[in-house]
Structure 1
C-alpha cells in the first residue's frame, strides 16, 4: 500500500528559475542577524517593560496618552538618531502624561513604484543592498533603544518582520495590508501590541475583521528563525487596536467619526480603543495640519472620551519633504511624506502635556 506522504528525494534537483526571476543573493536568516547584532538582556528587559506600558494604556490601566512620533520613513541614520536623542529628552519631560514611542519606519509602502525604505535600499541609489539594509536598520534600532526609547515600525513585508520583532514595543499594519490574511496571521504570533489601520476608503470594517482574526491562533505557511520553510503555529494576539487615518472620502478624527468607530468596534464585541493618525487623509497630506488634528483629538480626550488612547504624528528635524534625486539632500528632511518639524512637534507635545496635567488637577478622579 502506497504511503500518502510526499517522499523527498535524497538528492535535490536544481530548481527551475522563471524567465523573469533572477536569484542574486542569499540573505542571512533572522537568527543569524540577531546573533550578529544581539539584543542585550538589559535592553530586552526594557523592551518588555515598554510593551507592558503600551498594553496598559490600551487597556485603560495607565491614564497616559500613547504617542507614536517620528519620521514618515528613515532614510538617513544620522538625522534619525539625532531626532531620537531629542525625543528621548522630551520624553523625560512629558513622561507623567505621555508615553512617547519613536517611529523607526524602515519600510515604505508604495502605491505604484518608488523608494521602498532603508531596509531595501539603504544607499538611496537603486542598488537594493538588502543585506546592508538589514544590518543598518537593526543597528540603528539598537542605538535608539540604548537611548531609553520604545520604538515602533510598520510591518510591511512579513519575511522582514522576524529580523526586528524582538526590538519593537508597537507595530502598525497599514491601510493597504490590513485586509491581508498573511499579515493577520503574522500579527497573531507577535508578542507586542499592534494597530490595524482603517481601509483606504475610510471604513473600519476591514480593520475590525483583522483585529478579530489576529486574536485567534493560526497555523500557516512561514519561515522559521533559521530561514527554512515551516508550518508556523501562533497563539493569537489580544493586544491589537484600531488606527483611524482617514480615507478617500476625507478625515475621520472628528467627534462623529470617533463615535461611529466606537459603535462599530463594540457591535462586533471589540474593546473601543482607538489611535488617530494625524497625518495621511486626516491631515489632507498637509503636514502643517497635523497640530490641528492632534489638538482636536486631545480636546475630545480632555472632555472624557476614554476610547481615544493614542495618536500618531509624522515628524522630522525640519518641516516638509524633498524629492529623492540627483541634488544633494537636505539634512533632516523627509524623502517620503511631508513631516512636521521638530520645533513645532516639541511645542505641540509640551503644550499637550500641560493641558493633560491641568485636566488631571481639575478632575482628580478622572482617567484622563
Structure 2
C-alpha cells in the first residue's frame, strides 16, 4: 500500500483539528469537538492522549484512510524548552518534556505525543514544527531596563515562520538571504523582525506592543501601577483588564473586527478612532522592528485573522510602505503550516532538527 499522506494534528483546549495532505493538497480536514465533561475526567492534559488518539483514528476510519497510507505525522509543538525554530523529529526526550510540562501544561503538548504514537506504530517519522517555545532572541533583546524582569520570546511562531517561507519563495530567494518584518494580527498581535529566517525580537503579545481585539498591549506603566494599588481592583480583575477585557472589547464592547468595520461604515466616529488607533500602534511597532534590522528590510508581511479587515491593513500599509514593500496574507492555517514544515524536511529543502541537540537539557 502506497504511503502518500501526511497527517497534521493541532490539539486545542476543547477540540482537535486534523487534516490529511497529499503533498501540498489538502485532501480532507475535520475539527473534532471534545465534550467538556469528558475532558474534566482527566487530571492532566497529557492524560487525554488515548482519548484524543482514538477519536483521530475513528475519523481516519470514517474517511476510509488506513494508517498504512501515512507517509509522516506532524503535530503542533507545545511548551517545550526554549528552542530555535524549525521542523523537529519527535524524540523520546521531547516526549518526556511534553508529558511533564517542562514549561507548563497546554493542549498543544499533546501534538507531538499523538504524532509519535501513530508514527511509531507505522514505523514512519513524526514531527513538530515551530512550537510556541521558539526562542531565537539576540541577547540584547532580552534586557528590559529592570534586572528583576527579563524580556521573553512569546510569539506566534508557527504562522510567522510559515508566511516568512512563503514570502521568500515569492521573492525567489532562500529565507536565509532575506530580512522581513512580520505582523501577525489576531486575538493577540505579534510583530517580529525576521533576520535570515530567525525571529530575533518580538513584542510579548500578552503584555507589550499594540492593543488587540482583547488585549490592552503596552500601557503607561506609572498609571498602571497606580491602578493596581488603588484598592479598586483585585489581581484577577487587573489581569482580565489586560488580557480578555482590554483593547477593542474595552472601548467598543466587541472583539469582532467585522462588527467594528460595520460600526464605522454606519458613521460611528468612536469606532473609527479606536480602530485607527490600533492600526497606528501596529504601524509604529512595525517601524520599531524595522530598526532592529538596521532598516534593511526586504518585505513587510501582514497576516492573521485581523488581516481580513482591509480597512485596517490599508491604514497600516499607508504608514509603513516607505520602509519596504508590503504583502498581506489574510488569515492563517496552522494545519497547512504544519504540513509545509514536514514537507520541507521530507523533500530535502530543510534538515530535520533533533531536540536534544538544540536545547539546554540542564535548564
- What's the TM-score, normalizing by structure 1? 0.26
Bigger strand share: 2
Bigger helix share: 2
